[in-house]
Chains A and B, each alone.
Chain A
Amino acid sequence: MKKNIFRSGKIIYLALYLLIMIFPLYWILITSLKPQKEIFSFPLKYWPEHMTLDNYIHIFKISKFHIYIGNSLLVSIVSALIVLVIATLSAYVMARFTFRGHKQIMMAFIATQMLPGFVALAPLYLMMSSMNLINNRMSLILMYTVTLIPFTTIMLRGFFQRIPASLEEAAMIDGCSRWSALLRIIIPVMLPGIASSFIFAFVQNWNELFLAVMFIDNDSLKTLPVAMNSFILKFDVDWGAMSAGAVLSIIPTVLIFAFAQKFMQKG
């Protein structure tokens, strides 16, 4: 009896929570599919009477939405890949060797996670402009890479530590160099860790707004978040267009997140 009450309480809680989590997503999707008139009609419609793709067509017409999507994909993927290469190396060294300054370097990486980032924003702007990287996607790729290196190093170091060092030592006795042992023996073993680092990096880059606002002014170089930001400023929030843009910008993250969950449950 007591167990049954507990059980139904749990089901109600989980169902209610699901409803609350899903509703905003549902609402933005429904709004994006409503014709303008229905968005502002009373009483509110919880299901569109005349479903339409007008809002989606509209955002591609009034703005270069496909270009923004392309820019975001390019910047996010390239930077995530560079991060993986650099952070895998540093994580490997930090996991396998102890040396003078080891602890200090670790602290330096951890501390970056605590600094309020905007303090560095102005000097970064000056640096980028002196390197002629303002209005250049290189500046975003560079900065996204740098921002993610410490966290990814810390994360991958944890994965390396879980792999016994004897694994690559055996390979080295068999005549492998350290690098080829790393590449051929260790990396394949920690593929789940590397994949989740990539996903994390991609999502972070995909969502980043403030650096992109500072560094990119040229319309055809904007990333999705910057474009959405200027949507608001320009059109005093056209909610139909806004929600269509929001849905489009959510799709890749939700897809990749669903994929990651499956992957991590396996790993």
Chain B
Amino acid sequence: MNNRKIILTGLIPALLLVLVFTYYPFLRGIIMAFQEYKLFNLSHVHFIGIDNFKNAFQDPKFIMALQNSAYWVFCSLILQFLFGLTLALMLKKKFRGRGIYQGLVFYSWALSGFLIGMIWKWMFNSQIGVINDLLLRFGFIQERIGFLSEQKWAMMSVIIANVWYGVAFFAIMLLAALQSVPSELYEAAEMDGAGGVRRLWNITLPYIKPTIISTLMLRAIWIFNDPSLIYGLTNGGPAGSTHILSSLMLEHIIYGGDYGAASAIGIIMIVILLLYTIFFLSVTKAEKAGEF
């Protein structure tokens, strides 16, 4: 069999499936953004230009979700990264029980955001939630806090749950990268008398920079795109104060059946992602970071 045939047989199933069931529906979804397309009124599907976009920008819920998205991605990402890096640095050296320890602290990564949302919803409960109970017991607060029902607390609570969820990802990826740093580099630095902080700053971080860049970039996109945690925790409430763009989009689909409005938000998200990627890659000058 010649190479041409092998290439075709190997690629056609994968390519065909992805084109038909990812790219085609995706393009059709983009067209929907310019249509009035409501599930409960399919006989009235027609083009309406950019009305869906106009409506979006006039919707206070959308504006709030736009701001929330920025806040949500930024806080979650920075905290997940910092905790993940600290943890990875501490786990770098082998110690007895490290394997078991990793197993116990990294499992969260394999759970679904929706489920984690449900679990934290139960713990954050204002009446019988364990977090309120603990805070009261230790005297940190005098009366129960409505973590998910009061607007001033809700966003912070959702972010805490998300940080809990995402630290493991960074720890796993950064730990793998740390373990690939050649030990000769440290030995040389030690002979030069470089202290711990200087070694971290001058050797470790530069060496794992490619991993840092690609994990930060991918993770930001993932946090931005995935509404499952918010769906499980608050479903965007109270009063839309925890909606991010993706969860608002989901709401338009599930509760409103309004695919036009949802797709318009989707397009806005794509534009934001494109700008973000271009910005991120030019700041970090790492065109290859996408090769993950």
| Interface of B toward A, CB cutoff 8 Å | 1, 3, 6-7, 9-11, 13-15, 17-18, 21-26, 28-30, 32, 37, 39, 83, 86-87, 90-91, 99, 101-116, 118-120, 122-123, 128, 130, 133, 164, 168, 218, 221, 225, 228, 231, 246, 249-250, 253-254, 259, 262-263, 266-267, 269-270, 273, 277, 290-292
A206, B292: Cα distance in complex, Å: 24
Give the chain B neighbours of A177 by CB distance below 8 A: 1
A120-B22, A242-B118 are contacts. A261–B292 as well, Cβ < 8 Å? no
A90-B15, A121-B29 are contacts. A207–B269 as well, Cβ < 8 Å? no
> Are B164 and A20 within 8 A (Cβ)?
yes
> Are A13 and B90 within 8 A (Cβ)?
yes
Nearest-Cβ distance from residue B30 to partner chain A, whole angstroms: 7
A146, B26: Cα distance in complex, Å: 13
Give the chain A neighbours of B28 by CB distance below 8 A: 120, 123
> Are B106 and A108 within 8 A (Cβ)?
no
> Are B14 and A90 within 8 A (Cβ)?
yes
Give the chain B neighbours of A178 by CB distance below 8 A: 1, 6
> Are A145 and B118 within 8 A (Cβ)?
no
Nearest-Cβ distance from residue A211 to partner chain B, whole angstroms: 11
> Are A118 and B253 within 8 A (Cβ)?
yes
Give the chain A neighbours of B270 by CB distance below 8 A: 115-116, 119
Given contacts A115-B26, A147-B22, 18 further A-B pairs with CB under 8 A are A13-B90, A20-B164, A24-B120, A31-B122, A39-B128, A43-B133, A86-B17, A108-B23, A117-B225, A118-B262, A120-B26, A122-B262, A146-B18, A178-B1, A207-B111, A254-B110, A261-B106, A265-B99
Q: Which of B10, B110, B128 has the most CB of A within 10 A?
A: B110
> Are B29 and A120 within 8 A (Cβ)?
yes
Give the chain A neighbours of B29 by CB distance below 8 A: 119-123
Q: Which of B25, B30, B107, B262 has the most CB of A within 10 A?
A: B25
> Are B225 and A116 within 8 A (Cβ)?
yes
Question: Is A52 an interface residue when CB atoms closer than 8 A count as contact?
Answer: no
A249, B23: Cα distance in complex, Å: 32
A21-B164, A44-B133, A149-B14 are contacts. A246–B115 as well, Cβ < 8 Å? yes
> Are B290 and A110 within 8 A (Cβ)?
yes
Other-chain residue from A31, A93, A147, A249 in contact with B10 (beta carbon distance below 8 A): A93
**Chain A binding surface SS class:** helix
> Are A243 and B122 within 8 A (Cβ)?
yes
Within 8 A of B (CB), among A113-172: 113-124, 127, 142-143, 145-147, 149-150, 153-154
Tell me the nearest residue of chain A to B2, going by C-beta: A178
> Are B14 and A89 within 8 A (Cβ)?
yes
Question: Is A105 an interface residue when CB atoms closer than 8 A count as contact?
Answer: yes
Q: What are 8 pairs between A and B in contact, CB < 8 Å?
A: A13-B86, A24-B116, A40-B128, A116-B246, A123-B28, A150-B18, A207-B115, A209-B228
Q: Total interface residues on A, using CB and 8 Å?
A: 82
Tell me the nearest residue of chain B to A106, going by C-beta: B291
Other-chain residue from A14, A90, A118, A258 in contact with B246 (beta carbon distance below 8 A): A118
Nearest-Cβ distance from residue A95 to partner chain B, whole angstroms: 10
A95, B40: Cα distance in complex, Å: 47
A43-B133, A105-B15, A114-B273 are contacts. A124–B104 as well, Cβ < 8 Å? no
Binds B, one of A57-65, A186-194, A224-232: A224-232
Q: Which of B29, B218, B228 has the most CB of A within 10 A?
A: B29
> Are B11 and A90 within 8 A (Cβ)?
yes
> Are B107 and A257 within 8 A (Cβ)?
yes
Within 8 A of B (CB), among A189-218: 203, 206-210, 213
Question: Is A87 an interface residue when CB atoms closer than 8 A count as contact?
Answer: yes
Nearest-Cβ distance from residue A106 to partner chain B, whole angstroms: 8
> Are A146 and B22 within 8 A (Cβ)?
yes
> Are A210 and B228 within 8 A (Cβ)?
yes
Nearest-Cβ distance from residue B32 to partner chain A, whole angstroms: 6
Nearest-Cβ distance from residue A251 to partner chain B, whole angstroms: 11
Question: Is A112 an interface residue when CB atoms closer than 8 A count as contact?
Answer: yes
> Are B18 and A118 within 8 A (Cβ)?
no
> Are A97 and B254 within 8 A (Cβ)?
no
Question: Is A77 an interface residue when CB atoms closer than 8 A count as contact?
Answer: no
Give the chain B neighbours of A207 by CB distance below 8 A: 111-115
Other-chain residue from B3, B30, B86, B263 in contact with A97 (beta carbon distance below 8 A): B3
Give the chain A neighbours of B1 by CB distance below 8 A: 177-179
Tell me the nearest residue of chain A to B258, going by C-beta: A122
> Top 9 nearest A-B pairs by Cβ distance?
A207-B112, A93-B10, A119-B266, A123-B25, A90-B14, A119-B29, A123-B28, A120-B25, A122-B259
> Are B26 and A24 within 8 A (Cβ)?
no
